[in-house]
Structure 1
Amino acid sequence: MALQEELKTQGDFLFKNRSYLPLIILGIGLSVYIYTEYYEIETPETWLSESFEYICLGVSLLGLAIRIFTVGHTPKNTSGRNTKGGQLADELNTTGIYSVVRHPLYLGNFFMWLGVAMLTENAWFTVAFIFFYAFYYERIMYAEENFLRNKFGQTYLDWAENVPAFIPSLKNYTKPKYAFSIKKVLKKEKNGLCAIFLLFWIFDLVGDLVEKEPFEFETEFWFYGAIITTLIYLILKVLKKRKLLDETNR
């Protein structure tokens, strides 16, 4: 198989199974974090303690904000969590954040998971995550762009020529074609904030469990954050089921 076809095949496979990436990162990341905490490894990456967790949270929330801005300005069947079966695009997004970067959702995902990777307080794991993410999503982006090129032809090529794939550039920014839809954001991105706080709480809980002192369950910021965001997620799930978040062409 030629390299071009091989990359496309790999990309299609990874696209359909991209939901497993978080599980891989979480499993390995927790293992590294447990090792670091259990053996009390003191390195330049671990002295920040509590304040470092909030820096990690800020990185993850930046990623979520990028996803929210992206999804909120897109029409139906183009961007978000609506393509479980394969590639889908009724329209080529070229305005708003898509005039800054071709793959804003993957950029958002990167920062969301970078924050989680940083929680391990292990510089080597964080660097390894960045390389793994690049390898994983490079193939997904290749397959996605192949699909868009075949569907939209020269229109896609003209847009891609002036817009970078992953590192944003504001040089050719244009206003979004569609107004921001809070309903679409709540419908499509309802699990993002909940997932972030749950993961941060899990890391905090695991860190307490592996410490050598007697374990005491503490209801701290991460616990309350996980509870509140989970309740919000459940409420939004009910609203979505009752079609209260539906909008025409969004």
Structure 2
Amino acid sequence: MLLLLGTPLSVLGLLVRSWAAGSIDKDQELTTSGPYAYLRNPLYLGTFLIGIGVTVAGGASEWILFFLAYFVAVYGTTMSIEHSRLTKVFGQAYREYASSVPSFIPRVLPYRSFGGSGRDGFRFKRYCRNKEWEALLGVLAMFSFLTLKATFGWFGF
């Protein structure tokens, strides 16, 4: 049953990460469209959803708590460092963007900028260049393991 609850969360996370990875040219231009028009860190939101989905599917509540603590510690720090770096790289354009677009919880209406990029939308070439297929393979491996565990009670869990 928990496998059925966790799977859609992880699939949603993969979709968010895929959309984000296919919409950004990292460190080349400030991307403010696509998922970046709703939040500054869609890749991290996708990772969060994948992680929650996997831990829910695994069925151990202590792993959910561990994941939440880990995510806040690691990604909270990462987002702060990234914010500082992007401010240095993109200056006032990033400051204006950051003041209008939340870091992690999506806004309802998309941000409209005059200087951002990514207006050409999702590109599969960017998705591949950003190696997002690695996340897909990782999630497939985890859910294969969890399905075997649920079906056969393997691995002593």
TM-score (norm 1): 0.54
* Identical positions, percent: 29
Match of 1:182 among 117, 124, 130: 124
Q: What does residue 14 of structure 2 align with?
A: 64
Shift in alpha-carbon separation, 1:162–1:134, aligned structure 2, 3 A: same
CA 1:161–1:198 in 2, change beyond 3 Å: closer, same or farther?
A: same
Q: Do structure 1's residue 53 and structure 2's residue 42 form an aligned pair?
A: no
**Is contact 1:64-1:108 (8 Å) kept?**
yes
Q: CA deviation at 1:206?
A: 4.5
Q: Cα RMSD between the aligned structures?
A: 2.2
1:191 counterpart SS class: helix
Larger radius of gyration: 1
Q: Which runs of 4+ in 1 moved over 4 A?
A: none
Closer, same or farther: CA 158–196 of 1 in aligned 2, 3 Å: same
Correspondence for 2:43 among 89, 105, 116: 105
| C-alpha contact 1:74 1:178 (8 A) present in aligned 2 | no
Q: Paired residues, what number?
A: 150
Q: Which runs of 5+ in 2 are unaligned?
A: none
Amino acid at match of 2:120: Y
Between 1 and 2, higher relative CO (CA 8 Å, sep ≥ 6) is seen in 2
Could you give the per-residue CA deviations for residues 179-221 of structure 1, whole angstroms, max 9, x where no partner exists?
Answer: 3212332452222222212112223434522569xxxxxxxxx
Match of 1:209 among 133, 154, 157: 154
- TM-score (norm: length of structure 2): 0.83
Provide Cα deviations, 1:138-157, integer angstroms capped at 9, x if missing partner.
10011111111111111111
For the residue of structure 1 that corresponds to 2:58, the secondary structure is: coil
Paired position in structure 1 for 2:142: 199
CA–CA separation in structure 1 for the residues paired with 2:73 and 2:80? 11
Amino acid at match of 1:178: D
Which residue number in structure 2 is paired with residue 216 of structure 1?
A: none
Counterparts of 1:84-163 in structure 2, within 5 Å, are: 89-163=27-101
